[in-house]
Amino acid sequence: MPMVGYLNGEYTADGLAQVPIDERGHQFGDGVYEVIRVYSGRLFLLDEHLQRLQRSLSAIGIENPHSLDEWREIVNEGVRRSMEPEAQVYLQVTRGVAVRAHLFPSTSPSVSMTVRPVRAPDVSPGALMCLPDERWANAYVKTINLLPNVIAKEAAHRANAIDALLVRNGMMREGSSTNMWFVRQGKIYTAPANRYILNGITRQFVLKLASQQGLTVCEQALSFNELSDIDEVFLTSTTQEIRPVERIFADETQMASLTHLPDDAPSSLLYRCDKPVELWNRTAPGPVTTLLQKAYSQAVENFRSYQEPLGTDNSLSVQDQNSKA
């Protein structure tokens, strides 16, 4: 089935909806968004995504144009029309359409949505490229202003990495489109949900999974200088679920920028990696990552069969996991 689109109350096929030239999302990036996964025709963690959408809207002063029930109806209808059992929903709200001016206009928000089919995520181990975190200081808002993220992802891709590991003042925060997790001596570390990271819905779900599995999680940012003590690394996101990391590297010329951004403006923000320095390398996935991957897969299967995603208390310890490997 072709992509299903939605714009301000009208569903369309093949992306035929036209966005007005004075749309503030188009001209200012003045809006927020969510990405929601569909499994077997069911929207996974929908309410959690809609609640975060509300928080993002509140943070930038846009009035939520719909109630929770209205949002559920709009998104579910888009999925129904798509007839795709495995899909991804992109939902966006902007400040609306008005003649271009920096001050907020007196206009209604604009809502758009797409529903597209997706394949199963690639969960093979990949590499990360460390880059300085040059985003604004309010990464907790899921804004459509994604230029720094897009540039970081592209730079990592050109260096054969699956994502950029963004480092702010020496502390590892998150990826360009993922949350990061580090395992040291059986304990899991992930950056705290403060203003410097996006508190991923998958991140929140994996925290619950880890607790159910009896794992200890410390919400604490680690320095990239601590990588030598790390046993496992994995990343999470709505579209990638849980993916192991096998290598982390940086460009030699960018090492100083990981702890302090220089005042001089660079000639290009698309950083190259001509002199790679390996910072971490391990066999992936490790036992903790594997345990959580299996728990996540089981949660999705539970959801597909109309059970609670977390199911009952059938946790499997890391020791059990090792014995079954």
DSSP character for 61?
T
* Partner residues linked to 94 by β-bridges: 31, 110
Checking if the pLDDT of 322 tops 60, the result is: no
In the set 142, 187, 275, 324, the catalytic residue is: 142
- What's the mean pLDDT in 297-303? 97
Looking at the chain, the whole-number percentage of residues with pLDDT higher than 90 is 90
The model's pLDDT over 157-194, given as tens digits with 9 standing for 90+, comes to 999 999 999 999 999 999 999 999 999 999 999 999 99
- Distance of alpha carbon 294 from alpha carbon 107, whole angstroms: 47
State which fold the 126-317 domain adopts. D-amino Acid Aminotransferase; Chain A, domain 2 (3.20.10)
Of the options 3.10.250.10, 3.30.470.10, 3.40.190.10, 2.160.20.10, the CATH number for the domain spanning 4-117: 3.30.470.10
Edge-to-edge strand ranges of the sheet holding 31-39: 10-13, 4-7, 110-117, 87-94, 31-39, 42-43
The model's pLDDT over 72-99, given as tens digits with 9 standing for 90+, comes to 999 999 999 999 999 999 999 999 999 9
DSSP character for 284?
S
Task: With beta carbons less than 8 A apart as the criterion, state whether 239 and 37 touch.
Answer: yes
More confident: 321 or 4: 4
324 catalytic residue (yes or no):
no
Checking if the pLDDT of 318 tops 60, the result is: no
pLDDT at 321 (0 to 100): 41
How many residues are given for the chain?
A: 325
| DSSP β-ladder status, 163-168 and 171-175 | antiparallel
Checking if the pLDDT of 253 tops 80, the result is: yes
pLDDT at 319 (0 to 100): 38
Residues of the chain with CATH 3.30.470.10: 4-117
Average per-residue pLDDT for the chain = 94
| DSSP β-ladder status, 276-281 and 110-117 | unpaired
Task: With beta carbons less than 8 A apart as the criterion, state whether 291 and 315 touch.
Answer: no
Task: With beta carbons less than 8 A apart as the criterion, state whether 219 and 97 touch.
Answer: no
DSSP character for 97?
B
Confidence of residue 314 (pLDDT cuts 50, 70, 90): very low
CA distances from 52 to 41, 46, 71, 313, 321 (A): 22, 10, 13, 27, 34
Checking if the pLDDT of 276 tops 80, the result is: yes
* Partner residues linked to 276 by β-bridges: 251
Task: With beta carbons less than 8 A apart as the criterion, state whether 203 and 235 touch.
Answer: no
The residue type found at 320 is D
User: Residue 71 phi/psi, 5° resolution?
Assistant: -60, -45
Residues of the chain with CATH 3.20.10.10: 126-317
DSSP character for 12?
E
The model's pLDDT over 8-31, given as tens digits with 9 standing for 90+, comes to 999 998 767 888 999 999 999 999
The model's pLDDT over 101-148, given as tens digits with 9 standing for 90+, comes to 999 999 999 999 999 999 999 999 999 999 999 999 999 999 999 999
Q: Give the ranges where the chain is alpha helix by DSSP (H).
A: 24-28, 46-60, 68-82, 147-158, 201-212, 287-304, 318-324
- Distance of alpha carbon 291 from alpha carbon 286, whole angstroms: 9
DSSP character for 155?
H
Coil, strand, or helix at residue 63?
coil
pTM of the model: 0.93
For the stretch 98-110, what's the b/e string if a residue is b when 16 or more beta carbons lie within 10 angstroms of its beta carbon?
beeeeeeeeeebb
pLDDT at 160 (0 to 100): 98
